[in-house]
Amino acid sequence: MTAAGPGIDPLPPRVVDALRCSVCGSPIELAGRTLRCESRHSFDLARQGYVNLLHARIPAGTADTAPMVEARSALLTSGAYAPLADAVAAAAGAPSGLVVDAGAGPGYYLSRVLDAAPSAVGLALDVSAIALRRAARAHPRLGAAVWNLWEPWPVGDGVAEVVLDVFSPRNAAEFHRVLAPGGILVVAAPLPGHLAELGDLVLAVDERKEQRLETTLGTHFTREAVTEVVRTSAFTAQQVHDVVAMGPAGFHLDRDGRGERLRSAAARDVTLAVTVGVWRRND
């Protein structure tokens, strides 16, 4: 495989080896700045280094927008979610193979896992090309591909040692398929007290979240461990804005006066309340 052209960060070779053509499912190779399969389906790397493997439009309101990505990146850079990132990295352990982050956004959590695992490589999957512009440059051992996580993934069978899912869609069948036997799934999900101080500025957490996790994942995985990350800390007014604007509420800031209330929101204490579960693949 050759390096990408000027201005293009190449995908790590082990990431390319794990990817499959999203049209026919064949292995693909990187030649210059183009991924190509034996059937000559091809996908060009974007200037920022990610590749878009989609060949169908996605519904409006599915992919994070530029303002949402900007808010997420700003909040994560501020360190507000660092305790969660530490817990995710600890749960992932010290993998030496491929780590796939399903719904990776700007690549923050995957980068933290790779920092703690110097022999591993990472694949960031997300439906937002805007988010993956940042993810592709978040870590030198990280490759990024745009994909709809509810569709069969353009990733080979049994190629991943770890799959991460942090506040993202949970496609249990695909998690199971891409993980190698004995591989683990790390899932971060909000507890009912998560961001409670923000009231109706954010979407409420379903009280049955844990039950829904068991229902969604239990057929393919067995939960081995769970850690609760609960921290209350002082958020600045800007952090309050960013934590609201980066989430699902970011699609609807123009409704019900939420955007106006958010613009005038004051600094306050905010609680981070999340479970980080380790799920072992049922072989």
Known binding residues for Zn(2+): 37, 41
Q: Which residues have a Cβ under 8 Å from the Cβ of 2 and sit 6 or more positions away?
A: 30, 31, 32
Burial class (CB in 10 A: 0-12, 13-18, 19+), 167: middle
| Of 144, 140, 77, 139, the residue nearest 105 (C-alpha) | 144
Rg of the chain over all Cα atoms, to the nearest angstrom: 19
Nearest residue to 276 (alpha-carbon basis) of 170, 167, 187: 187
Q: At 243, is the secondary structure helix, strand, or coil?
A: helix
Q: Is the CB of residue 182 less than 8 Å from the CB of residue 97?
A: no
Binding-site residues from annotation: 37, 41, 81, 194
Task: Name the binding residues for S-adenosyl-L-methionine.
Answer: 81, 194
The alpha helices in 105-218, defined as continuous H runs, are 108-115, 129-135, 172-178, 209-217
